[in-house]
Chains A and B, each alone.
Chain A
Amino acid sequence: MTGPTAVTATATATASEPGSTAGHPGAPHRLGRLDDIPVGEARTFAVGDQQIAVFRLRGDVVRAIDAVCPHAGGPIADGQADADVVICPLHLHVFDLATGESTSGAPPIGCHPVRLAPDGTIELTR
């Protein structure tokens, strides 16, 4: 279910520097800044028609996975995470942040490679 454009616009506007490099093919997509995400939590960023939950783990490691739980559509960015996994807030399914595999029997969740640029920008590398 892709949302109407009005909603997309509102959501991406709340992310800092939305789509600022989207027009350059091959260039990493800049999702937002590390400071946008509280330590240990996640925020969702819209990239085209994709929703990506970016986690800022303790030690400022970043991980990105699909923002929608494959079990029942739960908002993954609202889940609780540690260095390895996130727990979906709706039915407590557990997903490995690095591989997307579920340890609680749900289908796997999509993973996205991200890196933290020296200036504190979180970049999607593919």
Chain B
Amino acid sequence: MTITENVPGPSTGPERPLATPASATSAAGTVPAQRRERRTAAGGRERLVVVGNGMAGMRAVEEILERGGADQFEVTVFGDEPYGNYNRILLSNLLAGAETEDEIFLNTPEWYADNDIRLRAGVRITGLDRYARVVTADDGTVTPYDKLIIATGSRSFIPPINGLIGADGELPGGVFAFRTIDDCRSMIGFAAERRTAAVIGGGLLGLEAARGLQTYGLAVHVIDAAPTLMNQQLCAEAGGILRRGVEALGITVHPGARTARILLADGAQAEAEAGGGGEVGPGRGDRGAGPTHGGGRAVGLEFADGTRLDVDMIVVAAGIRPNVDLGLRAGLTIERGIVTDDQLRSVDDSDIYVVGECAQHRGQVYGLVAPLWEQATVLAEHITGTNPDAAYHGSKIATKLKVAGMAVAAMGLKDAEHPDDEVVRFVEPRRGVYKSVIIRDGKLVGATLLGDTARSASHIEAFDRGLPLPEERLQLLFDIGLPAADVGAAEMADDAQVCNCNGVSKGKIVACVQGGVKSVPGVMNATRAGKGCGSCKALVKEIVEWAAGGEAEEDPSVSWYVPGVPLDKPALLAAVRERNLRSVSAVFAALAPGGREDAASKMALTSLLRIVWGGEFVDERDGRFINDRVHANIQKDGTFSVVPMIAGGVTSPDELRRIAEVAEKYDVPMVKITGGQRIDLLGIRKEDLPKVWADLAMPSGHAYGKSFRTVKTCVGKDFCRFGVGDSTALGVAIEQRYHGLESPGKLKLAVNGCPRNCAEGLIKDVGVVAIEGGRWEIYIGGAGGAHVRKGDLLATVDSPDEVMTLTGRFLQYYRENARWLERTYTFVPRVGIEKVRAVVVDDADGIASDLDARVQESIDAYVDPWLEREAPATPGQFRTALPLIPLPQVPVR
């Protein structure tokens, strides 16, 4: 035997050493001592040999190169297919004519050359000698390695059906596996002049093959030994709905049909039946390429019940089996795949890594692409030493795809397994919709969605990360209030309007992504999508991710509290407290990159510092939004709206008289009753604000800030014949205690005197409902605006005092923990009502008294801002910003 280094491909230089003479004369398996020593190739680099040029192997190589691996390793890649590297997932698109061969190739031969990788395409590794540290190829060459990566993937499983494998070990003519680009080419070439085809296998691959063959005008039968299509992912009921969808496309499904034998022409039957089932190995060339094949030519198949199906061609898509022969012969531990540790190394040999479909990690063999990516990353981090602690802990498998034109998402369990498993299921067969989730111990452990996968993103997230689930399980299946996409991004028309505030279409977002902006905040800034009321943000995110095709960039700034300071809220709060930062400019100087101030961050920082420091906050007026500088809400013409405080919506003739007089005196263009049970004077000139406030002689209603605004009430038990509690008095008391408190988002409250919800307490940030027996229910996280959501029940208490305490404690918890502009209807589901209840009601964290004390400090520091009418806080505080424009421009009603 001769030992050669790899010949083709770029050489790394003439000094590259050949194998030692000693090894050249040794037989495989006998190990000269010097062979075990670590030797390195040119430039002090180790020799890394990769067996397998598929998606897993090459992803691992790419990840290694990304971590500077080119300086550490001299890389050689063996692939038994004579090509560069292609995307195997897209073979079904190739078959269906949706993509060309060029489009599915990932790395060209030039790429290998450019990256100094020796590619030996079309060369199959047949032997591995772990002691000699060499691999031998079918062309007789022997290649030494220091580190080896086995990424041999899988091959088609050929079920034991008579006639499926001829005496020569090949598939008969007209029979095809569906695994490689050559398989695909052969099928396409053969299908052209045929009329009927059978696909053996009703899994994902089989259905894709069936759909692909239809494009050539063939009548296609799917022969499924299992009773249910996509048996691996779908329960019987979902499989039935999928079957109806598949049949509607003109594909004939034979469920539970066992194929007894393949019918062959040319009298080859007897000879062929000598062969049983088995596995077709890769690289055997032209199997099934034509009718003159040695194994005969298939003309149909016969089922176990004796019935026959005559077809012109047969595709076998009955599953895959890991290619483990190389490891087996080298004595590595094999179960279903080559068994690896958490670093993806063979448990028997720490110089041999195994990645992809041939690897078995913690009992799992993965056949989907996402886990391969995770494995490749861990492998690369470990082999390059960039993260010696890198460890793979297994992947949770979730699939979202289109099968024969139907959207399918599946993850985890397909059926309940334990008696205590909760199953929530919705089935609408007529529309082909099936949704089912399986919950165990409050965690999502399985979900199947068919026909309508709009909520699959949140399922995958909950499944992957074990997130808390909504108490009302229905929300898992339907969008009943939480922001979410109604239609999948892929299905939307290009001109469909996504952002209804700023008029941004899907097409505009996609164009932005294609223009190179691949992060969600980047696209939002560039297109203004999602920058209005924010209710479309989830859809914008989905479209960006879809348009970026898995290359969406995680923008680290999404976790920052403000865009100009790279810290999330807990870190920002800690820094502000530790470093005693009491003004917005001090925060920028200490914490912003380069000490740079950022206009878009100022309002949020002002709010946060007020929450932290209360009366000790150093107030820089430029840190405030205009509304908070002049304590009124700016209107479209630059005038302002004035809303005096009317606590609980209870006013008096005297107040109404003053309001009426002000409206006349200042020619107020519109007087409007608000939704918050107050009176709004709209179209007031900025310079008139101090005088208006003085004439009203009422405190500010804070209808302009991110702060506690109102408490709506009903008339309660003193007047209403249905009332069971004094909602009016309690609502007035809550508003008087907490009004004006600044918070990450605005706060709108209500108190109902009975469960009829006249004050709308069920859709408020905090809603209180009197119930019979002198008790009160407290709901939090409700919304009745751009999003509609019923609040979650926080607690049922016995007295108004307890309502007051829990309300304040929750408000403080929200103030300290919510993201900027995150309303309670997002905050509460994000944190989870159970967690909020544990902290606020049960004091599980032992912070209840601290929260109570801090909210009391804020209350004590409160000053009515309208008192600035006496002494303006800054020069020209109330000077017009548009001196040459006669205001108001808004219409006078």
Contacts and interface: CB of A to CB of B under 8 A. Distances in A.
Interface of A: 1-4, 7-8, 10-12, 14-15, 35-46, 49-51, 53, 58, 67-68, 72-83, 85-87, 89-90, 92, 94, 104-105
B599 A51 contact: no
A19 to B, nearest CB: 12
Q: Is the interface of B mostly helix, strand, loop or mixed?
A: loop
Given A8-B884, A41-B874, 19 more contacts: A3-B885, A7-B883, A7-B885, A11-B880, A11-B883, A14-B879, A40-B622, A40-B623, A42-B881, A43-B875, A43-B879, A46-B884, A58-B585, A77-B881, A78-B638, A82-B596, A82-B598, A90-B636, A105-B528
A80 B599 contact: yes
Contact of B636 (A10, A72, A105): A72
B620 interface: yes
Contacts of B528: 104-105
Given A40-B622, A90-B636, A83 B597 contact: yes
Contacts of B602: 80, 82
B530 to A, nearest CB: 12
18 contacts: A7-B885, A7-B886, A36-B876, A38-B874, A38-B877, A39-B622, A40-B623, A44-B880, A53-B881, A73-B638, A80-B603, A80-B625, A81-B622, A83-B596, A83-B597, A89-B634, A94-B599, A104-B525
B532 to A, nearest CB: 9
B883 A46 contact: yes
A79 B875 contact: no
Given A75-B882, A89-B634, A105-B528, A58 B597 contact: yes
A89 B527 CA distance: 18
A55 B603 CA distance: 18
Contacts of A40: 620-623
B884 A3 contact: yes
| In the complex, the 10 A-B pairs of residues with the closest C-beta atoms, listed nearest first | A40-B622, A11-B883, A75-B881, A38-B874, A77-B881, A78-B626, A82-B599, A75-B638, A82-B597, A3-B884
Contact of B622 (A3, A4, A38): A38
B531 interface: yes
Contacts of A85: 599
Contacts of A68: 882, 885
Nearest to B627: A89
B600 interface: yes
B625 A89 contact: yes
Contacts of A50: 884
Contacts of A11: 880, 883-884
B876 A43 contact: yes
Given A8-B884, A78-B638, A87 B876 contact: no
Central interface residue in A14, A41, A44, A104, by most chain B CB within 10 Å? A41
B348 interface: no
Nearest to B606: A80
Interface in B580-606: 585, 596-600, 602-603
B626 A79 contact: yes
Nearest to A10: B883
A11 B879 CA distance: 8
B138 interface: no
Contacts of B625: 80, 89
A81 B599 contact: yes
Q: Which of B625, B629, B877, B883 counts the most chain A CB atoms within 10 A?
A: B883
B617 to A, nearest CB: 16
A45 B882 CA distance: 9
Contacts, number: 122
A92 B531 contact: yes
A83 to B, nearest CB: 6
Contacts of B842: none
B882 A44 contact: yes
Most chain A CB within a 10 A radius of its CB, from B526, B599, B623, B624: B599
B504 to A, nearest CB: 10
A110 to B, nearest CB: 15
A87 B599 contact: yes
Interface of B: 525-528, 531, 585, 596-600, 602-603, 620-626, 629, 634, 636-638, 874-877, 879-886
Contacts of B531: 92
Contacts of B598: 82
Nearest to B620: A40
A68 B637 CA distance: 10
Contacts of B883: 3, 7-8, 10-12, 14-15, 44-46, 51
Nearest to A45: B883
B891 to A, nearest CB: 15
Contacts of A87: 599-600
A53 to B, nearest CB: 7
Contacts of A45: 883
A37 B874 CA distance: 8
Given A44-B880, A78-B638, A89-B625, A1 B885 contact: yes
B586 to A, nearest CB: 12
Nearest to A93: B528
A81 B624 CA distance: 10
A86 B634 contact: no
A1 B889 CA distance: 11
Contacts of A51: 882-885
Interface centre among A8, A40, A87 (most CB of B within 10 A): A40
B628 to A, nearest CB: 10
Contacts of A39: 620, 622
Given A58-B585, A78-B881, A37 B876 contact: yes
Contacts of B880: 11, 14, 44
A67 B882 contact: yes
A71 B60 CA distance: 50
A78 B621 CA distance: 12
Given A75-B882, A80-B602, A38 B634 contact: no
Nearest to A6: B886
Nearest to A90: B636
A11 B526 CA distance: 37
Interface centre among B596, B626, B638, B884 (most CB of A within 10 A): B884
B881 A14 contact: no
A109 B876 CA distance: 24
Contacts of B637: 73
Nearest to A7: B886
Given A39-B622, A40-B622, A92-B531, A67 B881 contact: yes
A14 B525 CA distance: 37
Contacts of B585: 58
Nearest to A76: B881
Contact of A90 (B629, B634, B885): B634
Nearest to A97: B599
Nearest to B880: A11
A40 B875 CA distance: 12
Contacts of B621: 38, 40-41
A36 B879 CA distance: 11
Contacts of B634: 75, 78, 89-90
A105 to B, nearest CB: 7
A87 B877 CA distance: 18
B599 A86 contact: yes
Max chain A C-beta neighbours (<10 A), residue from B600, B874, B876, B882? B882
Contacts of A53: 881
Contacts of B626: 78-80, 89
A7 B599 CA distance: 31
Nearest to B887: A7
Contacts of A41: 621-622, 629, 874
B624 to A, nearest CB: 8
Contacts of A67: 881-882
B886 A4 contact: yes
A7 B636 CA distance: 19
A52 to B, nearest CB: 10
